[in-house]
Chain A
Amino acid sequence: MKITLQEAREQIPQRDIILETTARLMVPFIQLYGLYVIVHGHYSPGGGFQGGVVLGASVILLALALGLPASKEYLTEGTDIIMANVGALIFTGIAVLCALLGGMFLDYSALTKILPIDPISWRSHGIFLVEVGVGMGVMTIMVSIYWDMASAGRLDEGL
């Protein structure tokens, strides 16, 4: 199996200018769309999970087209892990913060004590903040799982 993979790699040309340029050009638009899906989740289908997957797909596209090391230059391993943790912490942190400020766990209207606006509006904004955390977590975990699966954990070269 390993020999056939190596033979296949030798036969395929390693770089392709059309493929690389197309992927490079597509990435910003995919990411813009992913941010749109997250931010517009209040008004249309979408939200943190869907937008996060779209954002993660942009980095996976880079890994597929330019090679895994190129995608690791774009989003480094350390940043990936930090963003995954921060994403999960944003959600749970806001939930705990609501409880500490005297409301129920995950009751965003308790956040009026931080910024005094209408509690109903805070429920809307709280959902948005939480969705940002979900988006960060999902994006980075998708990328991390792809890296591990594609290179058997060595993160040197992908598929």
Chain B
Amino acid sequence: MKPLALLATLITGALLLYGTADFAAWGDPQSPPNSNISVRFVEEAVKETHVPNIVTAVLGDYRGYDTMFELVVIYSAGMAVMGILRRREEL
């Protein structure tokens, strides 16, 4: 089983590394993420949400799904740890 797991890990890692070749260059102002969505956030976020901190506006409003499932992940982690570890003396 272990060689199989190692093989799967190596193949997945190689695929992910291969995928990074298509990323936009670091800090390139002409790349799609920097020329479309970022500009819109910087220009419109305060007008659209009245939140001076753009990070909070993006996190809580534009990318609310991301933040919601971050909380769900933390919640599930806590419940999983509770379910695995917690013991009751009386039972």
Q: Number of B residues whose C-beta is below 8 Å from A?
A: 32
- A24 at the A/B interface (Cβ < 8 Å)? no
Cβ–Cβ contact B78 & A127, under 8 A:
no
Cβ–Cβ contact B64 & A106, under 8 A:
yes
> CB within 8 Å of B: which of A6-65?
41-45, 47-49
A63 and B48 CA atoms in complex are apart in Å by 43
Cβ–Cβ contact B68 & A95, under 8 A:
yes
- In the complex, residue of chain B having the shortest beta-carbon distance to the beta carbon of A88: B75
Cβ–Cβ contact A137 & B71, under 8 A:
yes
- In the complex, residue of chain B having the shortest beta-carbon distance to the beta carbon of A47: B56
Contact of A42 among B53, B64, B68, B71 (CB under 8 A): B53
Q: What does DSSP make chain A's interface, helix, strand, loop or mixed?
A: helix
Least Cβ distance of A86 to chain B in Å? Answer: 11
Cβ–Cβ contact A127 & B60, under 8 A:
yes
Least Cβ distance of B21 to chain A in Å? Answer: 32
Cβ–Cβ contact B49 & A124, under 8 A:
yes
Q: Number of A residues whose C-beta is below 8 Å from B?
A: 39
Contact of A148 among B48, B51, B60, B86 (CB under 8 A): B86
A121 and B87 CA atoms in complex are apart in Å by 47
Cβ–Cβ contact A141 & B48, under 8 A:
no
Cβ–Cβ contact A42 & B51, under 8 A:
yes
Which residues from A are CB-within-8-Å of B64? 95, 106, 130
Contact of A126 among B53, B61, B65, B86 (CB under 8 A): B61
Which residues from B are CB-within-8-Å of A133? 71
Which residues from A are CB-within-8-Å of B53? 41-45
Q: Which 6 A-B pairs have the closest CB atoms?
A: A153-B85, A127-B60, A141-B78, A106-B64, A124-B50, A148-B85
- Known contacts A48-B71, A120-B48, then 14 further A-B pairs from the complex at CB < 8 Å, ordered by chain A residue: A87-B75, A88-B72, A88-B75, A124-B50, A126-B61, A127-B51, A127-B57, A127-B60, A130-B60, A138-B74, A141-B77, A144-B81, A148-B85, A152-B87
Question: Which residues of B are at the interface with A, using a C-beta cutoff of 8 A?
Answer: 47-53, 55-57, 59-61, 64-65, 67-68, 70-72, 74-75, 77-79, 81-82, 84-87, 89
Sampled A-B contacts (19; CB under 8 Å)? A41-B53, A42-B51, A42-B53, A44-B53, A45-B55, A47-B59, A91-B67, A95-B68, A106-B68, A120-B50, A124-B50, A127-B49, A127-B60, A127-B61, A134-B67, A145-B77, A148-B81, A153-B85, A153-B86
